[in-house]
């Protein structure tokens, strides 16, 4: 039997027409669904946010794009038109302001984590309140209290201990808590107030020493997330917030050194 041969443009036209018809039957994601979910994330939450985003992408099929910075700088970017769909702040005040200003969707705020502040040194040994009081260090770093909630908590701690004026000449200010971590890690500061999550690995401080600041020395660091107006029609943004509330994400958050 001779092999089957296809001849003439009419045959190819039939295949093309059939392909177009089939394509028309397949579901097409909307532009809003296909575009990555643009998420603004407070710098202290960078590591768990990356793990949560990976799990969310794998389970949901939605893509995520994360941008990190201090809560204050991200808030300013949102006010200036940055196209973020979701905001994971390091406090409860910035999301509430955005809601009042009409830049966030009312009723979507949620506390996804409560942060803990630590005083960290790259060196080993004992680190506690007495080290602060002794003054035997050259530089101490904290994040800008006007931009970073952890910086505000650090300043409240120093004031509560009556040490704010004493350590002021030795203070180095970072634009975010991520920069504070770098100051200490690089040796440009002996001590720094950072988030517990930044120095924790498998439930232990992975390098140096840390003092867990007693919670009564500063206001609670309640970290809120909110759906922004730019994400109101984005199915992926709404799905991400729902995932953030769930058991899987909350387990990752607790393992990273946060409380609910």
- Domain residue ranges of the chain, discontinuous segments joined by +: 32-114+221-255, 115-217
Predicted TM-score (pTM) of the model is 0.82
Q: How far is CA 126 from CA 75, 192, 200, 210, in A?
A: 37, 15, 17, 8
Residue 201: predicted pLDDT = 85
pLDDT at 157: 98
Residue 117 pLDDT exceeds 80 = yes
Closest to 183 (Cα-Cα) out of 241, 139, 219: 139
Mean per-residue pLDDT, 88-100: 97
- On the CB side of 197, CA atoms within 13 Å amount to 25
Q: What is the mean pLDDT of residues 159-167?
A: 97
Q: Which of 21-25, 222-226, 228-232 shows the lowest per-residue confidence on average (mean pLDDT)?
A: 21-25
Residue 20 has pLDDT above 60, yes or no: no
**Chain mean pLDDT for the chain:** 88
Give per-residue pLDDT as tens, 192-204. 999 999 999 888 8
Beta bridge pairs of residue 192: 120, 141
Mode of pairing for the β-strands spanning 37-42 and 86-88: parallel
How far apart CA 174 and CA 66 sit, in angstroms, is 21
Buried b (16+ CB within 10 A) or exposed e, 23-58: eeeeeeeeeeeebebbbbbbbbbbbbbeebbeebbe
The average pLDDT across 119-129 equals: 94
Are residues 225 and 88 in contact, defined by beta-carbon separation less than 8 angstroms? Answer: yes
- pLDDT score recorded for residue 202: 81
Instruction: Over range 97-106, report the average pLDDT.
Output: 98
What is the arithmetic mean of pLDDT over 99-115?
97
- For residue 148, pLDDT beyond 80: yes
Percent of the chain at pLDDT > 70 equals: 87
Mean pLDDT (whole number) for 218-223:
97
Q: Which CATH superfamily is domain 32-114+221-255 in?
A: Periplasmic binding protein-like II (3.40.190.10)
pLDDT reported for residue 35: 82
3-state SS record for 53-95: HHHHHHHHCCCEEEEEECHHHHHHHHHCCCCCCEEECCCCHHH
CA-based nearest residue to 84, from 224, 229, 248:
229
Q: Any idea which fold 115-217 has?
A: D-Maltodextrin-Binding Protein; domain 2 (3.40.190)
Mind listing the pLDDT tens digit for each residue in 34-90? Answer: 689 999 999 999 999 999 999 999 999 999 999 999 999 999 999 999 999 999 999
Mean of pLDDT values over 10-38? 48
Q: How confident is the model at residue 178 (pLDDT cuts 50, 70, 90)?
A: very high
Termini Cα distance of the chain: 74
Instruction: Give yes or no on whether 32-114+221-255 and 115-217 have one common fold.
Output: yes
- Residue 34: the pLDDT is 60
């Amino acid at each position: 039997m001779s092999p089957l041969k296809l001849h003439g443009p009419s045959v190819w036209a039939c295949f093309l027409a059939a392909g177009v018809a089939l394509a028309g039957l397949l579901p097409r994601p909307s532009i809003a669904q296909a575009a990555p979910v643009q998420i603004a994330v407070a710098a202290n939450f960078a590591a768990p946010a990356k793990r949560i985003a990976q799990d969310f992408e794998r389970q949901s099929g939605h893509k995520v794009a994360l941008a990190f910075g201090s809560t204050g700088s991200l808030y300013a970017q949102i006010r200036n038109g940055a196209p973020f769909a979701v905001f994971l702040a390091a406090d409860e005040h910035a999301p509430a302001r955005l809601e009042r200003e009409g830049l966030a969707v009312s009723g979507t705020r949620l506390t996804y984590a409560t942060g803990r502040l630590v005083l960290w040194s790259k060196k080993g040994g004992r680190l506690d309140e007495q080290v602060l009081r002794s003054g035997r260090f050259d530089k101490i770093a904290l994040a800008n209290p006007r931009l970073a909630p952890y910086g505000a908590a650090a300043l409240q701690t120093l004031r509560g201990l009556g040490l704010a004026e004493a350590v002021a000449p030795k203070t180095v200010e970072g634009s975010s808590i991520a920069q504070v971590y770098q100051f200490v890690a690089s040796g440009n500061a002996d001590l720094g107030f950072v988030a517990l999550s930044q120095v924790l690995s498998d439930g232990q401080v992975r390098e140096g020493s840390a003092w867990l600041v007693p919670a009564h020395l500063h206001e609670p660091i309640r970290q809120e997330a909110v759906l922004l107006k730019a994400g109101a029609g984005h199915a992926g943004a709404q799905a991400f917030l729902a995932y953030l509330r769930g058991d899987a994400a909350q387990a990752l958050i607790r393992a990273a050194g946060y409380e609910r």
